[in-house]
Amino acid sequence: MSIGSDLAEARRAAGLTVGQLSARTRVREALIHAIERDDFSQCGGDFYARGHIRNISKVVGLDPETMVHKYDESHGGVPLPVRAASVFQADKPIKIRESRSPNWTTAMAVALAIVVVFGVVKMMGGGDTPTADVRPASVPAVPPAASPAGTPNPSRHAAAPATGKRGDLVVFQVKAKRSSWLDVTETGGRKLFSGMLEAGKTSVWKAKKGVKVTFGDGGAFLLQVNGKNLGTPGPSGQVLNRSYGASAPQPG
């Protein structure tokens, strides 16, 4: 008996119809009919024909390896590799319950957008960040001791901008307690700085008449104006506008 006849007889002996066999093996009914007629041309090659024979044999109660060996003997042994084809298709779609997983694409897109916005703000403010005017974090508020009589005191010239004694010059110093956004504009419109000031960083700006400042977080900064400690500009979490000159600071 041929392979197809053996499979058909075993199917009938197992009390299975072609439709029932198709449902159990996930092999199309038309392909099962062809195999039972010893027509393996629809299988897509010897490799897939062996897979179908093995699968059907298990369900109908035949030894899969014996049936595959019988197929090899009648078809010249193991064939050369062939291109894969979509042959394992059921008449009805198999419903597979998919577990929900986090939408990593959306999460990555949001993270990338945050990085881009932060980079743009950083780049916009980076060009205006003062370099020569940046002083160390600790600026002495107490005037230096007087030099002995007849000895010039070189520190007097360095301390003059910090005390605001030369005309209307205003020295504005900011130290960030935590990273926050800051915008500093000289009275008259010249932009001095705009961007994120990182936690622990201290920056100093000089302006002829005064500065107008927008704080992204009023409680995130410690201020000095002309060497005078002003503490924080306002409550934490509030966006504040302030003006600073030789006199007391004013709301913006």
Query: What's the CA gap between 212 and 217, in Å, rounded?
Result: 15
pLDDT at residue 36 is higher than 50: yes
Give 78's pLDDT tier (boundaries 50, 70, 90): low
pTM (predicted TM-score): 0.34
For range 125-146, the mean pLDDT? 45
Q: CATH classification of 3-74 is 1.10.3720.10, yes or no? A: no
Higher pLDDT, 152 or 42: 42
| Dihedral angle over CA of 17, 21, 27, 30, nearest 10 | -10
For range 164-182, the mean pLDDT? 81
- pLDDT at position 123 is 63
pLDDT at residue 11 is higher than 80: yes
Closest CA to 175 of 147, 141, 209: 141
- pLDDT at position 223 is 85
For range 82-97, the mean pLDDT? 48
Query: What's the CA gap between 4 and 71, in Å, rounded?
Result: 10
Predicted confidence (pLDDT) per residue in 194-246, tens digit: 998 899 999 998 988 788 988 889 899 998 999 999 999 999 988 989 998 87
Give 148's pLDDT tier (boundaries 50, 70, 90): very low
For the chain, count helices (H), then strands (E): 7, 9
Mean pLDDT of the chain: 76
Give 69's pLDDT tier (boundaries 50, 70, 90): very high
Query: What's the CA gap between 42 and 30, in Å, rounded?
Result: 9
What's the chain's Rg over C-alpha atoms? Answer: 42
Range(s) for CATH 1.10.260.40 in the chain? 3-74
Alpha-carbon 107 to chain mean position: 6
Query: What's the CA gap between 52 and 36, in Å, rounded?
Result: 11
Which whole-number Å values give the CA distances from 192 to 178, 206, 239, in the listed order? 21, 9, 19
- pLDDT at position 84 is 46
Least confident segment among 94-108, 185-199, 227-241: 94-108
Give 117's pLDDT tier (boundaries 50, 70, 90): low
Is residue 247 classed exposed, middle or buried when 0-12, 13-18 and 19+ CB atoms within 10 A define those classes?
A: exposed
- pLDDT at position 122 is 63
For range 155-165, the mean pLDDT? 41
Closest CA to 35 of 16, 61, 20, 55: 55
